[in-house]
């Protein structure tokens, strides 16, 4: 009998192990073939051994990132966030450096690097932009787009920023939009350039969904750990 539960679970284990070698694909395949996981539409991406259970990094048609926990006997599945006894979340680090080349521009020259997914029309993103200058000496923020569907001007704003040449010009264009300037409304692009910029925006949206972005501004550290942006501004 398979038991399915949803919620938050806590483990008294201080370490976890990512499975390697011959065992990894075998366990991954067995977990993928659990009726519930298969029938609901979860796709198992990564398996981590945590004490007496497996932690699973999975995707679903309605969610780009889902964490599952499966008992070693494969008879119980838990959906939700897991924590170690010290309060540290059980998660799956992402090498965010692979997305550095996709950034539209970078804020700051500091040693600590973050990745920001932003929507130029989002009022919270605009607030973050207005205050981000105070972080320039301490951090380096790589900016990617994540325009939300219900912001009708967001795509045009993104293309306006992309049409600027160089890091400083793009950063200024974003800052101007955050300050209420509407130069983006006068943007005229060839079909070729419009398509080129749309491809970049679509790629950013795909990256964001894959790592679990569901709102903006979304800030991540170098390991893909979500950062509360108001706390970042306090540093």
What structural domains and CATH numbers belong to the chain? 3-84 (no CATH), 96-234 (3.40.30.10)
Q: What is the mean pLDDT of each run of 10 residues along the chain (235 residues)?
A: 52 48 73 95 91 89 86 92 82 90 94 96 93 82 97 98 97 95 97 98 95 93 89 70
Report the chain's terminal Cα–Cα distance, integer Å.
50
pLDDT at 14 (0 to 100)? 41
Element (H, E) at 215: none
Q: What is the pLDDT of residue 12?
A: 46
Instruction: Return the DSSP state at 91.
Output: -
Token pair of 46, please? 């990564």
Give the 3-state secondary structure of residue 183: helix
219: β partners: 116, 227
Between the alpha carbon of residue 170 and those of residues 99, 124, 138, 165, 177, the distances in Å are 18, 19, 21, 7, 11
CB atoms within 10 A of CB 115: 26
- Closest by Cα among 207, 193, 129 to 160: 193
pLDDT at 123: 96
pLDDT for 130 equals 84
Pairing mode, if any, of strands 76-79 and 3-6? parallel
Give the Å distances, CA to CA, from 213 to 23, 31, 173, 225, 230.
31, 25, 23, 11, 17
In the three-class reduction of DSSP (H, G, I as helix; E, B as strand; rest coil), residue 107 is classed as strand
Q: Is 0.85 surpassed by the pTM of this model?
A: no
Burial (0-12, 13-18, 19+ Cβ within 10 Å), 93: exposed
């Amino acid at each position: 009998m398979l038991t399915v539960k949803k919620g938050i679970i806590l483990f008294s284990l201080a370490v976890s192990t990512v499975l390697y070698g011959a065992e990894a694909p075998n366990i991954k395949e067995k977990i993928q073939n659990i009726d519930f996981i298969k029938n609901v539409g979860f796709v198992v991406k990564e398996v981590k051994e945590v004490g007496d259970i497996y932690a699973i990094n999975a995707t679903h048609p309605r969610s780009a990132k889902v964490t599952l926990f499966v008992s070693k006997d494969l008879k119980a599945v838990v959906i939700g966030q897991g924590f170690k006894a010290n309060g540290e979340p059980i998660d799956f680090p992402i090498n965010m450096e692979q997305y550095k080349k996709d950034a539209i521009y970078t804020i700051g020259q500091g040693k600590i690097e973050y990745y920001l997914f932003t929507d130029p029309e989002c009022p919270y993103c605009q607030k973050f932009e207005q205050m981000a200058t105070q972080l320039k000496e301490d951090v380096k923020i790589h900016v990617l787009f994540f325009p939300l569907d219900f912001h009708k001007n967001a795509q045009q704003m993104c293309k306006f920023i992309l049409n600027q040449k160089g890091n400083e010009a793009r950063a200024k264009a974003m800052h101007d939009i955050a300050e209420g300037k509407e130069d983006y409304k006068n943007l005229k692009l060839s079909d070729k350039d419009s398509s080129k910029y749309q491809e970049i925006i679509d790629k950013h949206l795909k990256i964001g969904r894959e790592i679990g972005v569901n709102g903006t501004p979304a800030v991540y550290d170098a390991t893909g750990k979500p950062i509360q942006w108001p706390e970042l501004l306090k540093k």
